[in-house]
Structure 1
Amino acid sequence: MSRLARAAGRLADGSVTVRRRLGARLAAWVARGRRHDLTGWRAALGCWLRIAILLLGLYALWRLVRAIPNLMWLISAGWTIAAWRAGKASADAVKEEAEGGPSGATPPLDRKAVRTLLLTLMGDGSGVHLRTVLTHLQQHPPTAALTAAWKVPDLRARLVALQIPVDRGVKVAGVPTWGVRRRDLEAPSPTAAGEPSTEASTDA
Protein backbone atom coordinates (compact mmCIF):
# COMPACT_ATOMS: atom_id res chain seq x y z
CA MET A 1 0.00 0.00 0.00
CA SER A 2 1.39 3.40 -0.98
CA ARG A 3 1.96 6.22 1.49
CA LEU A 4 -0.87 8.22 -0.06
CA ALA A 5 -3.30 5.30 0.30
CA ARG A 6 -2.27 4.79 3.94
CA ALA A 7 -2.83 8.48 4.65
CA ALA A 8 -6.24 8.39 2.98
CA GLY A 9 -7.20 5.30 4.96
CA ARG A 10 -6.07 6.92 8.19
CA LEU A 11 -8.17 10.01 7.49
CA ALA A 12 -11.21 7.88 6.56
CA ASP A 13 -10.97 5.74 9.70
CA GLY A 14 -10.35 8.82 11.81
CA SER A 15 -13.38 10.59 10.38
CA VAL A 16 -15.60 7.65 11.30
CA THR A 17 -14.17 7.62 14.83
CA VAL A 18 -14.63 11.37 15.27
CA ARG A 19 -18.21 11.16 13.98
CA ARG A 20 -19.05 8.33 16.37
CA ARG A 21 -17.46 10.04 19.35
CA LEU A 22 -19.19 13.32 18.58
CA GLY A 23 -22.53 11.58 18.15
CA ALA A 24 -22.10 9.61 21.38
CA ARG A 25 -21.17 12.73 23.35
CA LEU A 26 -24.09 14.74 21.98
CA ALA A 27 -26.48 11.87 22.69
CA ALA A 28 -25.13 11.55 26.21
CA TRP A 29 -25.46 15.31 26.76
CA VAL A 30 -29.08 15.20 25.63
CA ALA A 31 -29.78 12.14 27.81
CA ARG A 32 -28.44 13.96 30.89
CA GLY A 33 -31.29 16.43 30.50
CA ARG A 34 -33.82 13.82 31.73
CA ARG A 35 -35.16 14.48 35.21
CA HIS A 36 -35.17 11.26 37.22
CA ASP A 37 -37.23 12.84 39.98
CA LEU A 38 -40.15 13.33 37.57
CA THR A 39 -42.25 11.03 35.42
CA GLY A 40 -43.99 11.22 32.06
CA TRP A 41 -43.46 14.08 29.65
CA ARG A 42 -42.17 16.40 32.38
CA ALA A 43 -39.13 14.16 32.89
CA ALA A 44 -38.19 14.52 29.20
CA LEU A 45 -38.53 18.31 29.00
CA GLY A 46 -34.82 18.78 29.63
CA CYS A 47 -33.96 16.42 26.76
CA TRP A 48 -36.23 18.29 24.34
CA LEU A 49 -34.73 21.60 25.45
CA ARG A 50 -31.21 20.34 24.74
CA ILE A 51 -32.28 19.03 21.33
CA ALA A 52 -33.71 22.47 20.55
CA ILE A 53 -30.41 24.07 21.61
CA LEU A 54 -28.49 21.74 19.27
CA LEU A 55 -30.79 22.51 16.35
CA LEU A 56 -30.51 26.23 17.05
CA GLY A 57 -26.72 25.92 17.16
CA LEU A 58 -26.64 24.06 13.83
CA TYR A 59 -28.88 26.70 12.25
CA ALA A 60 -26.65 29.49 13.59
CA LEU A 61 -23.56 27.72 12.23
CA TRP A 62 -25.22 27.31 8.82
CA ARG A 63 -26.12 30.99 8.71
CA LEU A 64 -22.58 31.94 9.75
CA VAL A 65 -21.03 29.77 7.02
CA ARG A 66 -23.35 31.27 4.43
CA ALA A 67 -22.35 34.75 5.54
CA ILE A 68 -18.62 33.87 5.70
CA PRO A 69 -17.94 31.00 3.24
CA ASN A 70 -14.22 31.02 4.03
CA LEU A 71 -15.14 29.74 7.48
CA MET A 72 -15.50 26.30 5.89
CA TRP A 73 -11.73 26.20 5.47
CA LEU A 74 -11.29 26.55 9.23
CA ILE A 75 -13.96 23.93 9.99
CA SER A 76 -12.48 21.53 7.43
CA ALA A 77 -8.99 22.00 8.84
CA GLY A 78 -10.20 21.34 12.37
CA TRP A 79 -12.02 18.20 11.31
CA THR A 80 -9.02 16.96 9.32
CA ILE A 81 -6.66 17.42 12.29
CA ALA A 82 -9.05 15.61 14.64
CA ALA A 83 -9.57 12.79 12.12
CA TRP A 84 -5.81 12.43 11.56
CA ARG A 85 -5.18 12.10 15.30
CA ALA A 86 -8.07 9.66 15.78
CA GLY A 87 -6.91 7.68 12.74
CA LYS A 88 -3.50 7.15 14.33
CA ALA A 89 -5.09 5.51 17.37
CA SER A 90 -7.17 3.31 15.07
CA ALA A 91 -4.13 2.33 13.01
CA ASP A 92 -2.17 1.49 16.16
CA ALA A 93 -5.02 -0.72 17.38
CA VAL A 94 -5.14 -2.57 14.05
CA LYS A 95 -1.37 -3.04 14.13
CA GLU A 96 -1.48 -4.34 17.70
CA GLU A 97 -4.25 -6.79 16.79
CA ALA A 98 -2.31 -7.99 13.73
CA GLU A 99 0.74 -8.62 15.93
CA GLY A 100 -1.31 -10.76 18.27
CA GLY A 101 -1.91 -8.14 20.94
CA PRO A 102 -5.17 -7.51 22.73
CA SER A 103 -8.06 -6.59 20.46
CA GLY A 104 -10.01 -3.37 21.02
CA ALA A 105 -13.20 -5.30 20.18
CA THR A 106 -13.02 -7.11 23.56
CA PRO A 107 -12.46 -4.51 26.26
CA PRO A 108 -11.02 -5.71 29.57
CA LEU A 109 -14.24 -5.48 31.58
CA ASP A 110 -13.92 -7.19 34.95
CA ARG A 111 -17.10 -8.59 36.54
CA LYS A 112 -16.25 -7.27 40.00
CA ALA A 113 -15.46 -3.78 38.67
CA VAL A 114 -18.62 -3.71 36.55
CA ARG A 115 -20.75 -4.86 39.49
CA THR A 116 -19.29 -2.09 41.66
CA LEU A 117 -19.96 0.48 38.94
CA LEU A 118 -23.56 -0.67 38.55
CA LEU A 119 -24.22 -0.40 42.28
CA THR A 120 -22.63 3.05 42.33
CA LEU A 121 -24.82 4.26 39.46
CA MET A 122 -27.90 2.84 41.18
CA GLY A 123 -27.26 4.89 44.30
CA ASP A 124 -30.28 4.36 46.54
CA GLY A 125 -32.42 3.12 43.65
CA SER A 126 -33.53 -0.40 42.87
CA GLY A 127 -32.00 -0.53 39.40
CA VAL A 128 -30.21 1.28 36.60
CA HIS A 129 -30.86 1.52 32.86
CA LEU A 130 -28.23 0.23 30.47
CA ARG A 131 -28.37 3.57 28.62
CA THR A 132 -27.22 5.30 31.82
CA VAL A 133 -24.39 2.79 32.25
CA LEU A 134 -23.29 3.15 28.62
CA THR A 135 -23.31 6.94 28.88
CA HIS A 136 -21.05 6.74 31.94
CA LEU A 137 -18.65 4.34 30.20
CA GLN A 138 -18.44 6.59 27.14
CA GLN A 139 -17.68 9.68 29.21
CA HIS A 140 -14.96 8.33 31.51
CA PRO A 141 -11.53 6.90 30.67
CA PRO A 142 -10.23 4.28 30.17
CA THR A 143 -13.53 2.91 28.84
CA ALA A 144 -14.47 6.04 26.84
CA ALA A 145 -12.41 5.15 23.76
CA LEU A 146 -13.32 1.46 23.95
CA THR A 147 -17.07 2.04 24.16
CA ALA A 148 -17.39 5.09 21.88
CA ALA A 149 -19.13 3.11 19.13
CA TRP A 150 -21.15 0.85 21.43
CA LYS A 151 -24.93 0.71 21.49
CA VAL A 152 -27.13 -0.69 24.25
CA PRO A 153 -27.19 -4.21 22.67
CA ASP A 154 -23.37 -4.24 22.71
CA LEU A 155 -23.29 -3.45 26.42
CA ARG A 156 -26.05 -5.97 27.09
CA ALA A 157 -24.02 -8.71 25.38
CA ARG A 158 -20.96 -7.89 27.50
CA LEU A 159 -22.97 -7.98 30.72
CA VAL A 160 -24.52 -11.32 29.79
CA ALA A 161 -21.02 -12.67 29.07
CA LEU A 162 -20.00 -11.54 32.58
CA GLN A 163 -23.04 -13.39 34.02
CA ILE A 164 -24.66 -10.14 35.13
CA PRO A 165 -28.47 -10.46 34.87
CA VAL A 166 -30.17 -7.91 32.61
CA ASP A 167 -33.88 -7.37 32.09
CA ARG A 168 -35.91 -5.37 29.60
CA GLY A 169 -38.50 -4.28 32.18
CA VAL A 170 -36.33 -2.41 34.69
CA LYS A 171 -38.16 0.71 35.86
CA VAL A 172 -36.25 3.87 36.74
CA ALA A 173 -38.28 7.04 37.28
CA GLY A 174 -41.30 5.14 36.04
CA VAL A 175 -39.73 4.30 32.65
CA PRO A 176 -39.27 0.56 31.87
CA THR A 177 -36.43 -0.47 29.56
CA TRP A 178 -33.29 -2.63 29.48
CA GLY A 179 -31.40 -2.45 32.75
CA VAL A 180 -30.04 -4.23 35.82
CA ARG A 181 -31.91 -4.70 39.10
CA ARG A 182 -30.21 -4.41 42.47
CA ARG A 183 -31.82 -7.62 43.74
CA ASP A 184 -30.47 -9.57 40.77
CA LEU A 185 -27.04 -8.03 41.14
CA GLU A 186 -26.79 -8.80 44.85
CA ALA A 187 -27.94 -12.41 44.37
CA PRO A 188 -25.21 -15.09 44.20
CA SER A 189 -23.88 -15.67 40.68
CA PRO A 190 -24.80 -18.98 38.99
CA THR A 191 -21.16 -20.05 39.20
CA ALA A 192 -20.93 -19.33 42.89
CA ALA A 193 -24.30 -20.98 43.54
CA GLY A 194 -23.23 -24.12 41.73
CA GLU A 195 -19.98 -24.56 43.68
CA PRO A 196 -20.03 -27.20 46.45
CA SER A 197 -19.84 -25.85 49.98
CA THR A 198 -16.40 -26.17 51.59
CA GLU A 199 -18.03 -26.51 54.98
CA ALA A 200 -20.21 -29.39 53.76
CA SER A 201 -17.19 -31.14 52.34
CA THR A 202 -15.34 -30.78 55.62
CA ASP A 203 -18.25 -32.22 57.60
CA ALA A 204 -18.43 -35.16 55.26
Structure 2
Amino acid sequence: MNRRLAAAVDVAARHGVAQRLADGSRTLYRRRADALTAWVAAGRRDDLTGWRAALGPLVRLVLLLAAAGLTYRAARAAPWLMWLLAAGWGLAAWRAGAREQPPTEEPETTSEEDPAGAAVALLREVLGDRPAVHLSEVLTHLQKHGQGEGWKVADLRARLEALGVPTDPKVKVGRVPTRGVYRAALDAHFPIEETSPSPTQVDAA
Protein backbone atom coordinates (compact mmCIF):
# COMPACT_ATOMS: atom_id res chain seq x y z
CA MET A 1 0.00 0.00 0.00
CA ASN A 2 2.78 2.45 0.92
CA ARG A 3 4.57 1.81 -2.36
CA ARG A 4 1.43 2.52 -4.35
CA LEU A 5 0.56 5.65 -2.35
CA ALA A 6 4.07 7.13 -2.50
CA ALA A 7 4.29 6.47 -6.22
CA ALA A 8 0.92 8.16 -6.80
CA VAL A 9 1.95 11.22 -4.78
CA ASP A 10 5.25 11.54 -6.61
CA VAL A 11 3.85 11.04 -10.12
CA ALA A 12 1.04 13.53 -9.59
CA ALA A 13 3.25 16.22 -8.08
CA ARG A 14 5.90 15.86 -10.78
CA HIS A 15 3.45 15.97 -13.61
CA GLY A 16 3.81 18.75 -16.14
CA VAL A 17 6.44 21.02 -17.57
CA ALA A 18 5.75 23.80 -15.08
CA GLN A 19 6.55 21.60 -12.08
CA ARG A 20 9.80 20.40 -13.62
CA LEU A 21 10.89 23.95 -14.45
CA ALA A 22 10.00 25.11 -10.94
CA ASP A 23 12.03 22.31 -9.35
CA GLY A 24 14.94 22.97 -11.68
CA SER A 25 14.86 26.71 -11.07
CA ARG A 26 15.05 26.21 -7.31
CA THR A 27 17.94 23.79 -7.70
CA LEU A 28 19.73 26.08 -10.15
CA TYR A 29 19.30 29.10 -7.87
CA ARG A 30 20.69 27.21 -4.86
CA ARG A 31 23.68 25.98 -6.85
CA ARG A 32 24.50 29.41 -8.26
CA ALA A 33 24.05 31.10 -4.88
CA ASP A 34 26.23 28.52 -3.12
CA ALA A 35 28.91 28.74 -5.79
CA LEU A 36 29.05 32.55 -5.71
CA THR A 37 29.05 32.61 -1.92
CA ALA A 38 31.95 30.16 -1.85
CA TRP A 39 33.83 32.18 -4.46
CA VAL A 40 33.46 35.40 -2.47
CA ALA A 41 34.47 33.69 0.78
CA ALA A 42 37.52 32.13 -0.89
CA GLY A 43 38.96 35.63 -1.37
CA ARG A 44 39.76 35.90 2.32
CA ARG A 45 43.49 35.62 3.09
CA ASP A 46 44.50 33.59 6.12
CA ASP A 47 47.91 35.26 6.28
CA LEU A 48 46.35 38.63 7.06
CA THR A 49 44.18 39.95 9.87
CA GLY A 50 41.55 42.62 10.33
CA TRP A 51 40.26 44.60 7.38
CA ARG A 52 43.12 43.44 5.16
CA ALA A 53 41.94 39.84 5.46
CA ALA A 54 38.42 40.90 4.49
CA LEU A 55 39.60 42.98 1.53
CA GLY A 56 39.60 40.01 -0.87
CA PRO A 57 35.95 39.04 -0.30
CA LEU A 58 34.97 42.71 -0.48
CA VAL A 59 36.67 43.14 -3.85
CA ARG A 60 35.00 40.01 -5.20
CA LEU A 61 31.62 41.20 -3.97
CA VAL A 62 32.13 44.54 -5.72
CA LEU A 63 33.01 42.68 -8.93
CA LEU A 64 29.80 40.67 -8.70
CA LEU A 65 27.73 43.80 -8.19
CA ALA A 66 29.48 45.48 -11.12
CA ALA A 67 28.78 42.46 -13.32
CA ALA A 68 25.12 42.51 -12.29
CA GLY A 69 24.93 46.23 -13.05
CA LEU A 70 26.49 45.79 -16.48
CA THR A 71 24.10 42.94 -17.28
CA TYR A 72 21.15 45.09 -16.27
CA ARG A 73 22.31 48.02 -18.39
CA ALA A 74 22.92 45.75 -21.37
CA ALA A 75 19.44 44.29 -21.05
CA ARG A 76 17.91 47.78 -20.86
CA ALA A 77 19.85 48.84 -23.94
CA ALA A 78 19.03 45.66 -25.88
CA PRO A 79 15.82 44.07 -24.54
CA TRP A 80 16.26 41.04 -26.78
CA LEU A 81 19.09 39.96 -24.49
CA MET A 82 16.47 39.20 -21.84
CA TRP A 83 15.00 36.57 -24.13
CA LEU A 84 18.39 34.93 -24.47
CA LEU A 85 18.96 35.01 -20.73
CA ALA A 86 15.47 33.63 -20.06
CA ALA A 87 15.95 30.87 -22.64
CA GLY A 88 19.33 29.93 -21.17
CA TRP A 89 17.94 29.83 -17.66
CA GLY A 90 14.92 27.81 -18.78
CA LEU A 91 17.10 25.22 -20.52
CA ALA A 92 19.40 24.89 -17.51
CA ALA A 93 16.41 24.66 -15.16
CA TRP A 94 14.82 21.98 -17.34
CA ARG A 95 17.98 19.88 -17.17
CA ALA A 96 18.41 20.47 -13.44
CA GLY A 97 14.78 19.55 -12.85
CA ALA A 98 15.28 16.23 -14.61
CA ARG A 99 18.28 15.41 -12.42
CA GLU A 100 16.36 16.34 -9.28
CA GLN A 101 13.61 13.82 -9.90
CA PRO A 102 14.32 10.71 -7.83
CA PRO A 103 14.01 7.43 -9.71
CA THR A 104 10.76 5.67 -8.98
CA GLU A 105 9.28 2.34 -9.88
CA GLU A 106 6.31 2.22 -12.16
CA PRO A 107 3.34 3.09 -9.98
CA GLU A 108 1.05 0.18 -9.27
CA THR A 109 -1.98 2.28 -10.11
CA THR A 110 -4.79 2.28 -12.57
CA SER A 111 -5.83 5.22 -14.68
CA GLU A 112 -8.95 5.60 -12.48
CA GLU A 113 -6.99 5.95 -9.22
CA ASP A 114 -7.12 9.33 -7.52
CA PRO A 115 -3.57 10.43 -6.48
CA ALA A 116 -4.92 12.96 -3.98
CA GLY A 117 -7.11 10.29 -2.43
CA ALA A 118 -4.11 7.97 -2.19
CA ALA A 119 -2.09 10.66 -0.42
CA VAL A 120 -4.94 11.34 1.99
CA ALA A 121 -5.25 7.62 2.72
CA LEU A 122 -1.53 7.52 3.51
CA LEU A 123 -1.83 10.46 5.89
CA ARG A 124 -4.81 8.91 7.67
CA GLU A 125 -2.91 5.67 7.97
CA VAL A 126 0.00 7.44 9.71
CA LEU A 127 -2.33 9.67 11.75
CA GLY A 128 -4.12 6.73 13.33
CA ASP A 129 -6.43 8.13 16.00
CA ARG A 130 -4.32 11.24 16.64
CA PRO A 131 -5.43 14.81 15.85
CA ALA A 132 -2.23 15.77 14.00
CA VAL A 133 1.00 14.40 12.56
CA HIS A 134 4.35 15.92 11.62
CA LEU A 135 5.49 15.61 8.01
CA SER A 136 8.82 14.32 9.32
CA GLU A 137 6.99 11.32 10.75
CA VAL A 138 5.15 10.73 7.48
CA LEU A 139 8.46 10.88 5.61
CA THR A 140 10.07 8.45 8.05
CA HIS A 141 7.13 6.11 7.54
CA LEU A 142 7.60 6.22 3.78
CA GLN A 143 11.35 5.71 3.92
CA LYS A 144 10.97 2.72 6.24
CA HIS A 145 8.96 1.14 3.44
CA GLY A 146 11.58 1.91 0.80
CA GLN A 147 9.97 5.06 -0.60
CA GLY A 148 11.00 8.73 -0.69
CA GLU A 149 14.71 7.96 -0.66
CA GLY A 150 16.62 11.24 -0.62
CA TRP A 151 13.51 13.31 0.08
CA LYS A 152 13.45 16.05 2.67
CA VAL A 153 10.40 17.35 4.53
CA ALA A 154 10.22 20.25 2.05
CA ASP A 155 10.00 17.76 -0.83
CA LEU A 156 7.13 15.88 0.80
CA ARG A 157 5.40 19.16 1.62
CA ALA A 158 5.62 20.32 -2.01
CA ARG A 159 4.18 17.04 -3.26
CA LEU A 160 1.29 17.09 -0.80
CA GLU A 161 0.44 20.74 -1.42
CA ALA A 162 0.51 20.11 -5.18
CA LEU A 163 -2.28 17.61 -4.55
CA GLY A 164 -4.29 20.11 -2.51
CA VAL A 165 -3.44 18.59 0.87
CA PRO A 166 -3.30 21.37 3.51
CA THR A 167 -0.18 21.60 5.68
CA ASP A 168 0.47 23.87 8.64
CA PRO A 169 3.85 25.31 9.71
CA LYS A 170 3.16 25.01 13.45
CA VAL A 171 1.55 21.66 14.08
CA LYS A 172 2.18 20.71 17.71
CA VAL A 173 2.61 17.01 18.42
CA GLY A 174 3.73 16.55 21.99
CA ARG A 175 5.46 19.84 22.71
CA VAL A 176 7.20 20.33 19.38
CA PRO A 177 5.60 22.67 16.79
CA THR A 178 6.71 22.10 13.22
CA ARG A 179 5.33 21.49 9.71
CA GLY A 180 2.55 18.93 9.67
CA VAL A 181 -1.08 18.13 8.95
CA TYR A 182 -4.11 18.49 11.20
CA ARG A 183 -6.79 15.83 10.94
CA ALA A 184 -9.52 18.48 11.07
CA ALA A 185 -8.03 20.39 8.12
CA LEU A 186 -7.55 17.15 6.19
CA ASP A 187 -11.14 16.08 6.77
CA ALA A 188 -12.40 19.55 5.85
CA HIS A 189 -10.68 19.40 2.47
CA PHE A 190 -11.26 15.69 1.92
CA PRO A 191 -14.44 14.62 3.73
CA ILE A 192 -14.60 10.96 4.67
CA GLU A 193 -17.17 9.02 2.70
CA GLU A 194 -18.93 6.30 4.63
CA THR A 195 -18.50 3.88 1.76
CA SER A 196 -14.77 4.55 1.35
CA PRO A 197 -12.66 1.45 2.11
CA SER A 198 -9.88 1.76 4.66
CA PRO A 199 -6.24 1.35 3.54
CA THR A 200 -6.25 -2.16 5.08
CA GLN A 201 -9.34 -3.10 3.09
CA VAL A 202 -7.73 -1.79 -0.09
CA ASP A 203 -4.65 -3.91 0.54
CA ALA A 204 -6.75 -6.94 1.26
CA ALA A 205 -8.53 -6.44 -2.05
Q: TM-score, normalised by structure 1?
A: 0.46
Q: TM-score, normalised by structure 2?
A: 0.46
